[in-house]
Chains A and B, each alone.
Chain A
Amino acid sequence: NAGVMQNPRHLVRRRGQEARLRCSPMKGHSHVYWYRQLPEEGLKFMVYLQKENIIDESGMPKERFSAEFPKEGPSILRIQQVVRGDSAAYFCASSPTGLGEKLFFGSGTQLSVL
């Protein structure tokens, strides 16, 4: 049973480009969380999704950021028109139940904006 798979591991974008981060949850997991971690800071909640539904997006910036978790395929975190301040590690976690003790993280995507 593969773990939570995130790709790419490292993503370099120039200012103004789009960044797409992918997360394939563990098999049987229908709950997905996205977190952002800036250098020297903790994990900041961004969005919580279940299949085809956004449950809580209270941590998402109002503009340029969107997330989806389609019926088939991975969850996608999309950042349009990236700026330098978007440079961070983006972690995805999945859970079969949405409960904290069953939360498993991917290895993260390190986004660098030049």
Chain B
Amino acid sequence: RKEVEQDPGPFNVPEGATVAFNCTYSNSASQSFFWYRQDCRKEPKLLMSVYSSGNEDGRFTAQLNRASQYISLLIRDSKLSDSATYLCVVQAAGNKLTFGGGTRVLVKP
């Protein structure tokens, strides 16, 4: 089983719609969780951290479910500019950061 798994997609989303996807992780001792965004194989950039209580940043909402070992990302009112690959990142003790394979989102007019 991979350490961090994501549905590769693509998720085809009409502009203005809501899309959500999950990421599962295998190491129950994982401590920190993040969502990164990668455009066209450019460098990944931090989208948001994921906190235990869940957190929201504008149209983006991240949730953590430790019992089931997954995190989720929800995007509301999708924009064309949201088209990208979203990378789930899990950090265990020792600072090793493990990336999922990414979920590709395509927002269409």
Chain A residues close to B by CB (< 8 Å): 31, 33, 35, 37, 41-45, 48, 55-56, 58, 89, 91, 98-101, 103, 105-108
Contact = CB atoms under 8 A, between A and B. Distances in A.
B98 A100 contact: no
Chain A interface main SS type: strand
A10 to B, nearest CB: 13
Q: Size range of the interface on B?
A: 20 to 34
B16 interface: no
B45 A105 contact: yes
Interface string B80-109: 000000010101001111111110000000
Interface pairs A-B: 9 shortest CB-CB: A42-B101, A105-B43, A98-B95, A43-B99, A100-B91, A100-B34, A42-B102, A101-B49, A56-B96
Contacts of A42: 6, 87, 99-102
B6 to A, nearest CB: 8
